[in-house]
Every structure is written in C-alpha cells, then in structure tokens.
Structure 1
C-alpha cells in the first residue's frame, strides 16, 4: 500500500487529502499530512476578521476533525530528499526525525514577500495568518482606547493613523474593513471625532486591483475617498523606522499600525529539497500537476497551490502561470486528488484547467466590487455576492453554518468591538499579583560572619 506524504495542510493540501479519502479505498493508500498548524486558514475571510464581521475561530478549519483517515502530524517539513524518498520533520518540541514515503505532494503554500525597506521587518504586520488578522483588529481597538484618554496632539494622531501597503485584492479589502471598523468605533468614543482618524493605503503602481476593470477600480477609489480613506498611487514606501512613514512623494507621518499586503512568495523550504524549482523559487510542475525537471517528469512527485508554478492553460495567468489565490489552490487540490487516484489505478492524469468566472471583493458592510469579463458590479449587490460566494466556498458545512450564522447575528446585534489584546501576554496579570517565596533573610549570612570566636582557656601551670 503506497504512502502518500502531503506537505502542507492549506487549501491545496487539505483538499487533496479530503478528496483522496473519498476517492481511495482503505487498502489503496496511506495518507499522511504534515503541517506546522493544526488548521487550514480561509484567507479570504481575514479582512472580515479584522473588521469584526467574522469570528476568528470560524475562519479556520480543523484538519483533524475533517480528515478522518489521514494521519495528521503537526510539524514542519524542513528537508526533502526525493532521491531517497525521505522527508525530515521538525516538531515544535522534540528532535527532528525522518519519514519515508512513496508519493510526495508538495502544497506548502506561500509567505509574505517583503523588500529590504528600513523598518518594515520591525514595525509591519502581514495578512497571511489568522493570528495576524486578530492582532490587527485588537491593535486598532486598543489604540482607540488609548487615544480617547489623550489630548489632541502628535501622540494621539499616531495612535489613530493606520497604514496598509499594497493595493491588490487583499490590501484593498483589509483597508476598507479597517476604515469601516474605525468609523463604527467612533460612536463609542465621544472624545474622538471622525477627522481625528487617518487611513492611508500605499500602492507603487498607478492603479489598484489589477483583476478588475479600470472603471470598477475607479469606483472603489471614489468610494474609499468618500469614506475618508486615502489611497496613494504611484507611491513607494521608503522607510518605516520607528513607525515614521516616509513616502517617495516626500510625505511623512507616523503610524502605530502598518499592514503589509504587497505580494507573496513560495515558502523558502523548497531550497532544502532536491526537487526542481524555477527562478522565482516555485516548484516546477506541468499542467497535470506532476513535478517536472530538465530531464522530464520526476516520478512520484506532485505540486499545487501557491508553492508551485502551475501553467495556466486559459492564457489569463501572469507570465503564463496561475495566480496564487484560493480559487486556484482549491481547484488544483481537487484535480490533484483525481490525478493521484488515476495513477495509482494505472490510469492517465488530466491537465488542470480552470477559467475563473470573475473576481469579487468585500469592502466593508454594504460595499463590494465584482468583475467578470466586461461586467462590473459595485456597491451593495456586489457585497451580497461576495458574502454568498465565500460563505459557500469555505470548506465543510460545519464552518459554512458557523460563518453564515455569525453574519445573521451581526446583522441584528452589530459587530463585536471587544479587544482582547491582552491575549498576547496571558500570564501577565497572574504573574503581577502572584505570591512568591520570601528570599532568605539578608542578615543571616552577616550574622554568621560576625559570630564571636570562642576563647579557649587553660589553667595556669603549677609551679
């Protein structure tokens, strides 16, 4: 019975394992999934988590709960030696060990791509993980708490100035949700006014959201401007040292919350493998998702998702490859499961082909943008389409029900505005007031040192 090792439990890895479980009989293959996290993060919901419209736990999907037959290992794959068909697993606690396999599926995903801009590594926060979305949300609300106690001035202005770098879908969506959250919070802070808050998005190109038409992108810009959110086009971030934002236009201001969404790159782990990678660091695969090198197909090696350079047979992809998004990763995972099943049963795999029906973005409650070919829909109808699509796209009915119910409650009760930033230091309160053993008395050693030396007397000698 062949052992299938799936490296990464994100969209592509989760769907590959999920569909393999359904397609293969119990005695046809052993499935092992390795991921450093025990859950899949549904990244399209991260902006809504920031805005407080989706509960953070509902934007992730438990791997162990829904992958019934697969063996789950919570660890990092730090090295792959495909020549020997072994992979090195490194857990959070304990020593690394090697695992053998017969078939490997590399779906390790991507990480935030940054540039060596001074201050970014120290001050900015990404938007790839649920923990990052929670931190952004909590910091926004905590900053409002702090600013409400301060008089007008530079310190309060810094706390209420928020910056997003990157004008793609993720950047625009989180920027709009942040502005929406900031506006909603003002009614609870009578000390603050709308003009006290500042929201800036920095985009190096001359437009935003390249997936939609210029007309639709202009509507988004106008909508954001009407809501008090400023977009800086044709502008580069020069420095963020100490939270001081310096732009290529010469503008400068301070911010306490800087969100980086300017691109992704394949996980660097691929450098520690003997599998072929291309110039951008992605796994080389052909259209049927089999890994391919200079000498042809690499036997028993497959790849999909953001970590792989998957040819886009529709011709719509940038540079001829599928763009790194959830829509492709999910569908590639499904095709990958079918192709692996086919090869195990002696059948031929099929090429991955998917022509997107369009792109949809949520811009905060009541606002959205949809583009399909020349058709562009904006405003409330597009927002409904965004929620409808992603409410059904998140894996498993258990999660769909939780998310949709969360939206229903939000419609009647409003968004939750509780900040729990203290979760980052959960032991602080306990540590502060915990009783500790009293230190040994300082006088005890001194007393011992000053103890008088006993005198020894002897009787005088008799004459």
Structure 2
C-alpha cells in the first residue's frame, strides 16, 4: 500500500488529510500526518480570542477527532531525505525514528518573522498560536486589575499601554479588537478613565493593510483615530528593552504588552532540514499543480501547499508572481492537492491551481469591519457581518462552527467574559505556596554522645547504692 506522509497539521495539512480520506478508496493508500500539536488552529479568529469574543479552545480543530482514517503522530519532522524517501520524526519524548514514504506533502506552514532588535525576542509576543492569543487576553485583563489599585502615574500608564508592531491584516485586527475590549472594560473599573488607556500601532511602511485600496486603508486609520488609537507610519522599532519601546522617530513608549505581527516566514525547521528545492525567500519551490519543482522539472513524489510553499499565482495578482501566504490560498490549495495526489496515484493528470482572490475582510471590533473586493468596499456594520459570516462558514466541520457561533450568540446576550486566567501559566503556584514540606535535617553535634540506655542507668544506680557497704566490710576485715 502506498504511504503518504503529510508534514504539518495546519490549514493545508489538515485539509489535505481530510480530503484524502474522502477521495481515496479503501486500501488505496495509507496516510500519516505529523505535527507537534494535536490540533489545527483557525488563525483568522485569533484576534477575537485575544479580545475575549471567542473561547480559545473553540478555534482549534482536533486532528484525532476529525481525521478518522489517518495516522496522527504528534512529533516534529526534523529531516526530509527525499532522495531516499525517508523522513526523520522526532517526538518530544523518546528516540527519533525514520519513516519511509512514497508520497510526501509538505504543509508545515509559517512562523513569526522577527529581526535582531534588542529586547523583542525577550519581551514581545506573536499572534500565530491560540496560546499566544489567550496569553495576550489574560495579560491585558490582569493589567487592568493591577492598574486599578495604583494612583495615576507612569507605572499605571505602562500597565494600560499596548503596542502592536505591524500594520497588516493581523496587526490591524488585533489592534482594533483590543482597543474595543479595553473601552468596554472601563465600565467595570471606575478608578480608570478612557484617557488612561494608550494603544500604539507601529508600521514601517507609509500605509496600513496593503491588501485593500488606499482609500479603504485611510478610512480604517480615521476610524481608529476616533477610538483614541495612535498609529505611527513610516516608523520602525529600534529597541524593546526594560519595558520601553524605542522608535526610529526618537519617541519611547513604556509598555507591558508588545505584540509582534510584522510578517511571517516559512517554517525554518522543515525547510532547512530537507533536500527539496527552495526559492530565494526560503519557501519550497512548487509548481502550479502543487508538485514540488519548477515548470520544467518535477520532483516526483513530493508536494507542497500553504505558507511554506511558493506556488505560482496564475491570476497575475500575487506578490512577485506567487500566491500570498494566507488562509484563503492554503485551504483551496490543500483541497486541490488531495485531488491531484489521488489522480497521480491512479495514473491521471493533475490540474493547476487557479484561484482569483475573492477579496479581503477584517473585523475592527464588535459591530465594525471593512470588506474589499476589487473596487467594491464596504465599511462598518455590514462589513463586520460579512467578516463573521465568511469566517464562520470557513471554520472546518459543523461541530466547530456551532461552538464558534455559540460563543457569538452568548456574548450578544451576556457580554464578554472578562475574567483573566493568567494563573494557568503557573498552575502549581497555589499548591506550592501552602504545601507542607519535610523539616530540614538538623546539623550533627561536634562531639556526639552515645544514646542512653534506661536499663544501664538503673543498673549503675543500684551498683552505686551497694558499693559503700562493700568498701566498709573490706576495711573492717583488715
């Protein structure tokens, strides 16, 4: 039976395995998917998770629950030797092993791309995982609790200041969602005022959201300004040490929350550990039919899709001639990849990927959004409805859809659940604080005395009582 190995369980990996289960006949091939995490994360919902509008667990899709006929392995693929069709799988615990395959699908996605700016690696947080989104939410809620106990001053300002680096869709969405959440929190904190909260967006380019028209991006800027947000264009971060973000303009922003959304890069662990061809931006070189290779040469038995791949954009709308790394392309590429892989197994000809961008939609807080499709732009409430409608339908499986819609419905009637659970980062702290521990051993004495035996003491006392009489008898005899 042919062995199909899927490397990565994100959008493209999950959808590839999901659709392979649908298209493969029984016994036609065996599919194995390898990912360190046991779930796929629907990343477009992460800004809403950070703002407390969706429960974190509801934006992930369990691999074992929804992939019924796929072997799920929670580990990392640390080496791909495609010349011999062998992949090295390294688990979190235990020894690595080699997995032989006939067809490999590389869909390991992307990670946050950072630069060697002092303090960023130690103090900033990304927005690529659900854990990051939940940590951002808990940090901001906890900071509000702490700030409410402080007098007005630099320390309180620092706790209530949020800095987002990157003005793309992810940065703008999380920035706007958090600004809206902070405004809604103020009614629960009478000690704090709107003027006490400070939100700064740092963008190195002269505009935000390059995926939409300039007119639409300017409308977003005006909308953010009305809500008290500060957007710094043509500005770069030069340092983030000691809780201070230093900008290229000379301004220094004291903050306790730095969110980094300034771009992504192909998963370096998989790319560097493979012998597959790579293009200049560090992505796996992929043909339009999603096989690895170039238009002139095919790497047999190797496929790629999603953010880790450089797939030609046949519509002519891609940056540099390639499909941009987003969920829209990843999902559609994965669906076609599954069909093409099955077609090749059956001796048929695969089809080329062709998808014209349907547009861009972003949420800017409850009841507000923006939608752009060609020259058509919708702003405000109806764009927000389009945003939730599109992503609600795009969420994989009806089981997940109902959970997300349920969160929206409950929040509509009951409001946000603004309780921080930051203690989950150190779950044993409360137990350790009051747990009884053994007493420390006492230091040994310098001249230790042997233990006293009660019987010996009694015997010695009896001997002492008799000894004088015996001595007197001896004297008399003499």
TM-score range, shorter chain: over 0.9
Partner residue, 1:460: none
Work out whether residues 287 and 294 of structure 2, in 8 Å CA contact, stay in contact via their aligned partners in 1: no
After TM superposition, list the pairs within 5 Å mapping 1:372-391 onto structure 2: 372-391=373-392
Work out whether residues 12 and 107 of structure 1, in 8 Å CA contact, stay in contact via their aligned partners in 2: yes
Partner residue, 1:188: 188
1:294 CA displacement: 9.6
Encode CA deviations 1:188-245: one digit per residue, 9 max, x unaligned.
Answer: 1111000000000000111100111111111111111101111111111111111211
Work out whether residues 284 and 292 of structure 2, in 8 Å CA contact, stay in contact via their aligned partners in 1: yes
1:252 CA displacement: 1.1
2:312 aligned with 1:316: no
Work out whether residues 244 and 254 of structure 2, in 8 Å CA contact, stay in contact via their aligned partners in 1: yes
TM-score by length of 1: 0.96
Task: Could you tell me which runs of 5 or more consecutive residues in structure 1 were left unpaired when the two chains were aligned.
Answer: 454-463
Partner residue, 2:449: 451
Work out whether residues 287 and 295 of structure 2, in 8 Å CA contact, stay in contact via their aligned partners in 1: no
After TM superposition, list the pairs within 5 Å mapping 1:282-431 onto structure 2: 282-292=283-293, 296-431=297-432
Q: Of the two, which has the highest radius of gyration?
A: 2
**Separation in structure 1 between the aligned mates of residue 320 and residue 392 of structure 2, nearest angstrom:** 31
1:293 CA displacement: 5.6
1:438 CA displacement: 2.0
Work out whether residues 75 and 90 of structure 2, in 8 Å CA contact, stay in contact via their aligned partners in 1: yes
Partner residue, 1:456: none
**Separation in structure 2 between the aligned mates of residue 229 and residue 94 of structure 1, nearest angstrom:** 49
* 3-state SS of paired residue (1:435): coil
Work out whether residues 43 and 129 of structure 1, in 8 Å CA contact, stay in contact via their aligned partners in 2: yes
After TM superposition, list the pairs within 5 Å mapping 1:166-245 onto structure 2: 166-245=166-245
Work out whether residues 276 and 293 of structure 1, in 8 Å CA contact, stay in contact via their aligned partners in 2: no
**Separation in structure 1 between the aligned mates of residue 450 and residue 61 of structure 2, nearest angstrom:** 74
1:452 CA displacement: 7.7
**Separation in structure 1 between the aligned mates of residue 123 and residue 181 of structure 2, nearest angstrom:** 22
2:251 aligned with 1:251: yes
1:350 CA displacement: 0.5
**Separation in structure 2 between the aligned mates of residue 286 and residue 89 of structure 1, nearest angstrom:** 26
* 3-state SS of paired residue (1:240): strand
Work out whether residues 333 and 353 of structure 2, in 8 Å CA contact, stay in contact via their aligned partners in 1: yes
**Separation in structure 2 between the aligned mates of residue 94 and residue 431 of structure 1, nearest angstrom:** 29
* 3-state SS of paired residue (2:145): helix
Encode CA deviations 1:368-409: one digit per residue, 9 max, x unaligned.
Answer: 000000000000000000000001101000000110111011
Q: 1:70 to 1:162 in 2, by over 3 A?
A: same
**Separation in structure 1 between the aligned mates of residue 167 and residue 432 of structure 2, nearest angstrom:** 43
After TM superposition, list the pairs within 5 Å mapping 1:114-153 onto structure 2: 114-153=114-153
Work out whether residues 80 and 87 of structure 2, in 8 Å CA contact, stay in contact via their aligned partners in 1: yes
* 3-state SS of paired residue (1:400): helix
**Separation in structure 2 between the aligned mates of residue 272 and residue 278 of structure 1, nearest angstrom:** 15
Work out whether residues 39 and 60 of structure 1, in 8 Å CA contact, stay in contact via their aligned partners in 2: yes
**Separation in structure 1 between the aligned mates of residue 350 and residue 257 of structure 2, nearest angstrom:** 47
1:84 CA displacement: 1.1
**Separation in structure 2 between the aligned mates of residue 272 and residue 385 of structure 1, nearest angstrom:** 41
2:280 aligned with 1:279: yes
**Separation in structure 1 between the aligned mates of residue 98 and residue 433 of structure 2, nearest angstrom:** 43
**Separation in structure 1 between the aligned mates of residue 220 and residue 148 of structure 2, nearest angstrom:** 30
Work out whether residues 394 and 400 of structure 1, in 8 Å CA contact, stay in contact via their aligned partners in 2: yes
* 3-state SS of paired residue (2:445): helix
Partner residue, 2:17: 17
Q: 1:452 to 1:39 in 2, by over 3 A?
A: closer
2:268 aligned with 1:268: yes
TM-score by length of 2: 0.93
Encode CA deviations 1:260-313: one digit per residue, 9 max, x unaligned.
Answer: 000000000211111111111100011001011697111100000000001000
**Separation in structure 1 between the aligned mates of residue 60 and residue 69 of structure 2, nearest angstrom:** 20
Alpha-carbon RMSD across the aligned residues, in angstroms, is 1.3
Work out whether residues 53 and 410 of structure 1, in 8 Å CA contact, stay in contact via their aligned partners in 2: yes
**Separation in structure 1 between the aligned mates of residue 11 and residue 310 of structure 2, nearest angstrom:** 16
Encode CA deviations 1:407-432: one digit per residue, 9 max, x unaligned.
Answer: 01110000110100000000011011
**Separation in structure 2 between the aligned mates of residue 101 and residue 238 of structure 1, nearest angstrom:** 46
2:159 aligned with 1:159: yes
Count residues in correspondence. Answer: 451
Work out whether residues 80 and 87 of structure 1, in 8 Å CA contact, stay in contact via their aligned partners in 2: yes
Encode CA deviations 1:6-59: one digit per residue, 9 max, x unaligned.
Answer: 000100000000000000012100000000000000000000001111110001
**Separation in structure 2 between the aligned mates of residue 294 and residue 76 of structure 1, nearest angstrom:** 30
Partner residue, 1:35: 35
**Separation in structure 2 between the aligned mates of residue 137 and residue 51 of structure 1, nearest angstrom:** 6
* 3-state SS of paired residue (1:72): strand
